[in-house]
Structure 1
């Protein structure tokens, strides 16, 4: 597996109004791997994702994707580089059907029949609920089903990088297991993934590499397996054990 970094943040600072949220974030996301971004609430994880996507502008530092400087790019330009982002609130269009939600993201398809059918079948295998509720309004689905729709929508076209904010939040254990299997399959298909997560079991089962944030900085980076095996380190970084 290549250890070349697909995404790299160096010394990234982000201000939101009068607030200085990120204080020099250094983060590397190796190509073909699943990187976990962990940390207590308020550590700056979501701000980091939003800064990568250009939703908030870095006030200092640089962000490189695939060797290209994207620090000053606008969100649509960043998305066009084959980066998909699933925010914590999922961003589902509640009044549209599941099919319409996915069609919106399938840039090459003008109607459902023109979607890549082979890819659609692959998504249905990852997330059976997407097929089951294909013609249902997305707003009527459960939290877990909405999360599946949000991820399915992000991967309806092939992506080089998938960024997901807390995919397991509020989900039942059975749905979390389904989500873990789906991300594992995605990783095996060659997608590089950056996940913010609070569920440590989720992180432990999926992560190749890990970065832990505290007070707007990355305070630890390394292999997920090494962190999972070191209870003293977990306790000092996260105040919990895996």
Structure 2
């Protein structure tokens, strides 16, 4: 496990919430994409300060749920609330300004730009790399040494694991209250997966709430506090990750495999 420096504090303006209270809730959320009805009344609760894993077979609606939260696809009906804010009334930039960051499955980095330029684009308060918060940048370097090592290299030349590190680094270059990541361990070598788990644990310790879509159940078990399982556009199970990890029959029934 990597030894990292203490993370910078989260947003100073963020109110302190009771740990048991959900930071994000979805109630009866339906989403249509063209003629296709993808989400069929999703109910989801993401507790403040915890790591929530969203699991499910391919096509269950996990990515659509994340994109609906971010306003990239608009909910047809239902309510999405983040710390009292009704997300369906906001645009994607406005949702991001609440302190929510999203790392899509394709990572969303700019291949022709350097690692430094990718981070600078995400640091809205900085016009030059020198204006990025130095303590926060050093913390990111401690989480992801490859970001510092390849600082002036084109992002497109990085390995898959290094690109994923850069994508997460971009998402947290400014303080965030909620980090949403789609398939963070997909295609990564075990050593890189361990590094990613360490980084997410540090983010949680700093007060960041995490919502992760994941197919790697071993990854989910090591990191998750709570779990929600989707099937056919609905959440069909929600509860503590520890209990889900211990129930092989439930895993087999819901996912077709076990941890």
Provide the TM-score with structure 1 as the length reference. Answer: 0.99
Pairwise CA RMSD of aligned residues?
A: 0.7
Instruction: Report what 1:161 is aligned to.
Output: 178
2:183 is the alignment partner of 1:183: no
State which of 214, 217, 221 in structure 1 corresponds to 2:234. Answer: 217
Matched residues, number: 242
C-alpha distance after superposition, 1:180-233 (max 9, x if no partner)? 111111111110000000000100000000000000000000000100011111
1:124 CA drift (Å): 0.4
Q: Is there any run of 5+ residues in structure 2 with no aligned partner, and where? A: 1-17
Q: State the Cα distance separating 1:172 from its structure 2 match.
A: 0.7
**Match for residue 241 of structure 1?**
258
> After superposition, where does 1:118-133 map in structure 2 within 5 Å?
118-133=135-150
Q: 2:243 matched to 1:231?
A: no
Determine whether 1:88 maps to 2:105.
yes
The structure 1 segments of at least 4 consecutive aligned residues displaced by more than 6 Å after TM superposition are: none
Tell me how far apart the structure 1 counterparts of residues 46 and 110 of structure 2 sit (CA, whole Å): 30
Q: Paired residue for 1:63?
A: 80
Q: Distance in 1 between matches of 2:33 and 2:197?
A: 33
Confirm or deny that 1:171 pairs with 2:188: yes
**Alpha-carbon shift at residue 72 of structure 1 (Å):** 2.7
Q: Is the 8 A contact 1:57 1:72 kept in 2?
A: no
Other-structure match for 2:134: 117
Q: Distance in 1 between matches of 2:92 and 2:174?
A: 18
1:146 aligns with 2:163: yes
CA distance in 1, matches of 2:120, 2:85: 29
The structure 2 residue matched to 1:102, chosen from 116, 119, 122, is 119
Partners of 1:62 and 1:136 in 2: CA distance: 43
Please tell me whether the aligned partners of residues 162 and 191 of structure 1 are also in contact (alpha carbons under 8 angstroms). Answer: yes
Query: Does 16-25 or 69-78 show the bigger shift?
Result: 69-78
